[in-house]
Amino acid sequence: MKNTVDTAIRRTQAYWYVDGLAEITVGLLFVVISLYFLAQARIKTLSINPILTNFSLLVAILLVLWVLRQALQAIKARLTYPRTGYVAAPHMQKSLRWQRYGITAWLALVCISLVILALHSQTSPSWVPLLTGAVIGLTILVLSYRSRLMRFVFLACALVLIGALVSFINPGQTLAMALSSVANGACFIISGGVTLVQYLHGAQPPAEADL
């Protein structure tokens, strides 16, 4: 009986990953970030005001993030809710919420510091993509544990491998970050895409309307 309760809770907590759309969205965001790094490299070449253009690029990324979020909600309303039903964001106790904010802020600080170090260092540290991949991979691994979804374990391993490979190739500062971002994005998109296809085949909308 306890197992039934725990299973029901975990399945509901994993609801947001049932259709793969969240992963596709994250993948697209990684692709946008890779374009940011490529734009950075181009800006350096053209000697355009770096502060203004960096700010503009960051604003553009935030705008894309907002658009992706709205698109995700709209697509879920069309595809997921009629098939699986609707579940709002899970309840979180205040203490856990602040813990999550703290961990997210810490991870963001580490990643941003590494990126700044990579972009502005005279000798490019080749280990930055590996470390970034490891940090993101660890986050996905935690997600895998919480949601009990095996595919996140494979995704985490892929992210670490990509980081290691890019670090080994060491194509240079900005190109390394662009390369690892687009590869990470591809992994997320493939994982989400396969999940979405399986989900659409397996879950059909009910014949009668919801009461």
Partner 1 sequence: MNRETQRVAAIDRLIHEPSRMLIMSILYAGEQVGFLYLLNETGLTKGNLSNHISRLEQGNYIQVEKSFRGKVPQTLLSITPQGRSAFETYRKQLKLLADSLPSSDS
53 touches partner 1 by CB under 8 A? no
Contact at 8 Å (CB) between 66 and 74? no
State yes or no: residue 105 binds partner 1 (CB under 8 A): no
Q: Please tell me whether residue 13 binds partner 1 under the rule CB under 8 A.
A: yes
Tell me which stretch binds partner 1 (CB under 8 A): 6-14, 105-113, 129-137, 184-192.
6-14
CB of 206 to partner 1, least distance (A): 7
Binding partner 1 (rule: CB under 8 A), the pick from 46, 51, 88, 207 is 88
Q: What would the two tokens of residue 104 be?
A: 């997210």
Binding status of residue 35 toward partner 1 by CB under 8 A = no
> Whole-angstrom Cα distance, residue 100 to residue 103?
5
Cβ neighbours of residue 71 under 8 Å, at least 6 residues apart? 25
Answer for which of 46, 51, 150, 209 binds partner 1 (CB under 8 A) is: 209
Q: Does 211 interact with partner 1 (rule: CB under 8 A)?
A: yes
Q: Are 84 and 19 in contact (CB under 8 A)?
A: yes
d(CA 30, CA 180): 9
Q: What does the CA dihedral 91, 98, 133, 9 come to, rounded to 10 degrees?
A: -20
Closer residue to partner 1, CB minimum distance, 4 or 123: 4
Instruction: Give the range of 61-69, 79-87, 156-164, 184-192 binding partner 1 by CB under 8 A.
Output: 79-87
Please name the residues in contact with 159: beta carbons below 8 A apart, sequence gap of 6 or more: 133, 136, 137, 140, 184, 187
Work out how close the CB of 203 gets to partner 1 at its nearest, in angstroms, rounded to a whole number.
8
Q: Judged by CB, which is closer to partner 1: 51, or 209?
A: 209
Q: What is the DSSP letter of 125?
A: -
Evaluate whether 147 touches 125 at the Cβ level (below 8 Å): no
DSSP code of 127?
T
Stretch that binds partner 1, among 29-37, 74-82, 137-145, 183-191 (CB under 8 A): 74-82
Interface region with partner 1, contact rule CB under 8 A, candidates 10-18, 31-39, 52-60, 95-103: 10-18
What residues make contact with partner 1 under the rule CB under 8 A?
1-2, 4-5, 8-13, 15, 77, 81-82, 84-91, 206, 209-211
